[in-house]
Structure 1
Amino acid sequence: MIFRQLLHFDPVGASYVFGCGGKASAAVVDPQLDIEPYLKASEETGMNIKYVIDTHLHADHLSGGRKLAEETGAKYVLHKNADVKYDFFGVQDGDFLDLGNVKIRVLHTPGHTPEHISLLVTDRTRGEDPWFVLTGHTLMIGDVGRTELASNIEEGARDLYHSVFEKLLGLEDHIEIYPGAFSGSVCGRSLSGKPFSTIGFEKRFNPALQRTNPTEFIQFMLENIPPQPDDFQQIRQSNQGY
């Protein structure tokens, strides 16, 4: 497997390029508006971009996903229920995306937004068990994603509880977590500057995950909410194609 994590600072976020070098197939996840770094990574690694995936319709930055997909001929992937005005390749919970020796399993993880997905990745040259999960703005390092930018805050928090505690925390402790944001992002509180972790470490040290009761978790999500991003409604609508 070839794997690259790209960290961005204006706005703060993380995107990913990974795939199978032997089969020359790659996916790009949560690309920012400037698509040149992804085209350069494709050229440097010799991998063709097969899928461009947005884990959700972002409200803090404009996505380069559609532009990158058009430029490369890749499929642009969103959850099948994404509310958008353009064509895309729709996936749902349990679907698989194939990248040669690399396999992606789609997990529907609503809460931060209704259409949010996470991506559980296996490198079959290493084994048949998953290696890491790309969690977008669902489970991050030191916190979870805010829930009021695309839905009612309490409904979002309730959905997020089920996504985190019933899906993501059901993964084995050694599974690595690669989120879509880190310290400095407005999409979480007290985010770590270390942009990756493991399921086991977050279970033990992430404050949000200590609220194992749904009522306590929802109450936690209603407290200390960060300021909303500037123009977040317009940004999300632009990413929807409105």
Structure 2
Amino acid sequence: MILRPFLHADPVAISYLFGCGGKASAAVVDPLGDVKPYLAAADATGMKILYVVDTHLHADHLSAGRRLADAAGAEYAMFAGADASVPFRGVHHGDVLPLGNVTAEVLHTPGHTPEHLCLLVTDHTRAEEPWFVLTGHTLMVGDVGRTELASAADEGARILFKSLQRLKALPDYVEVLPGAYSGSVCGRRLSGKPASTVGFERRHNAAFRIDDEAAFVRLMLEDIPAPPPQAARLRGINAGLLAA
């Protein structure tokens, strides 16, 4: 397994390159900004980027997903239900992206946005059990994703509560690699630590540990911060529905 996180400060976000070094097969998740660092990281590790995945249509920054996929000769993937006009491979819940000895299973986790997905990653040279989950803005360290950027806040919260059950069903040891950390506008109580585990978040994440839907919705409706600047416009651009 090769894993390279890219921590961005403006905007605050995390992108990832991961895959199988032995089979020279990689994927990049949630890229933004200049595509050259991702191409350079793949080249340095001897891997070819086969897939570029956006976990969702972002509302806080412009995605580099389509540009990177074109530059790398890779498939650009989002959840099949994404309301987007840019060319992309639509993936469904349960689909598996093969990367040599590594696989990434698609988990549909709507709530932050309707099309949100997570990727459950297994390195089959180590074990047949999953190693980590790339959670985008569904589950982050210390919080979960806000729910009013693409739907009504209460409706999004009810949907997110159900999605989080899929992540709660994972073993405690599975690592949580989110798409944001402290300073991001997509969460309220985010930690500056960019990674965690399902078990730690289950015990210490105020939103993730709630097992009652009504209590979860009440928490999600408290102290909703101002939306990211031009959130609707950014989602529209990332979907190809608006000009940049």
For normalisation by structure 1, the TM-score amounts to 0.98
Aligned-pair CA distance for 1:209:
2.1
Q: Distance in 1 between matches of 2:75 and 2:33?
A: 17
2:13 is aligned to: 13
Q: State the shift of 1:177 in Å.
A: 0.1
User: Percent of pairs identical after alignment?
Assistant: 61
> Does residue 73 of structure 2 align to residue 110 of structure 1?
no
Structure 1 counterpart of 2:229, which letter? Answer: D
What is the aligned length? 241
Structure 1 distance, partners of 2:150, 2:94, is 24
Who is 1:124 aligned against? 124
Partner of 2:217: 218
Whether the aligned pair in 2 keeps the contact of 1:33 and 1:65 (CA below 8 Å) is: no
Between the aligned partners of 2:141 and 2:83, the Cα distance in structure 1 is: 28
Instruction: Tell me how far apart the structure 2 counterparts of residues 2 and 212 of structure 1 sit (CA, whole Å).
Output: 35
Matched, 1:239 2:216: no
**What SS does the corresponding residue of 2:227 show, helix, strand or coil?**
coil
Deviation of the 1:210 alpha carbon = 3.2
What are the Cα deviations for residues 49-70 of structure 1, in whole angstroms up to 9, with x where unaligned? 0000000000000000000001
Q: What CA distance in whole angstroms lies between the structure 2 residues aligned with 1:142 and 1:86?
A: 33
**Aligned residue in 2 for 1:176:** 175
| Residue equivalent to 2:153 | 153
CA distance in 1, matches of 2:13, 2:106: 21
* 2:138 paired with 1:138: yes
Show the counterpart of 1:76. Answer: 76
The answer for the alignment partner of 1:57 in structure 2 is 57
Partner of 1:193: 192
- Asked if structure 1 preserves the Cα contact closer than 8 Å seen for 2:61 and 2:234, the reply is yes
Measured against aligned partners, the alpha-carbon deviations of 1:11-69 in whole angstroms (never above 9, x if no partner) come to 00000000000110000000012111101101111100000000000000000000000
Aligned twin of 2:88? 88
The residue identity in structure 1 corresponding to 2:237 is: S
C-alpha distance in structure 1 between counterparts of 2:157 and 2:144, whole Å: 10
Q: Distance in 2 between matches of 1:173 and 1:210?
A: 13
- List alignment gaps of at least 5 residues for structure 1: none
| Displacement after TM superposition at 1:211 (Å) | 2.3
Aligned partners of 1:211 and 1:220 also within 8 Å: no
| Whole-Å separation in 2 of the counterparts to 1:117 and 1:101 | 22
TM-score (norm 2): 0.98
Match of 1:38 in 2: 38
Amino acid at match of 1:215: A
Which whole-Å deviations, capped at 9, do the CAs of 1:139-189 have from their partners, x for residues lacking one? 11000000011111111101100011x200000000000000000000001
Secondary structure (helix, strand or coil) at the match of 1:77 reads strand
| Displacement over 3 Å in runs of 4+ | none
Q: Is the 8 A contact 2:201 2:209 kept in 1?
A: no
Tell me by how many angstroms 1:198 deviates: 0.3
Aligned mates of 1:56, 1:151 — CA distance in 2: 14
Task: Write the distance in 1 (CA, Å) between the matches of 2:209 and 2:154.
Answer: 18
One-letter identity of the residue aligned with 1:207: A
CA RMSD of aligned residues (A): 0.7
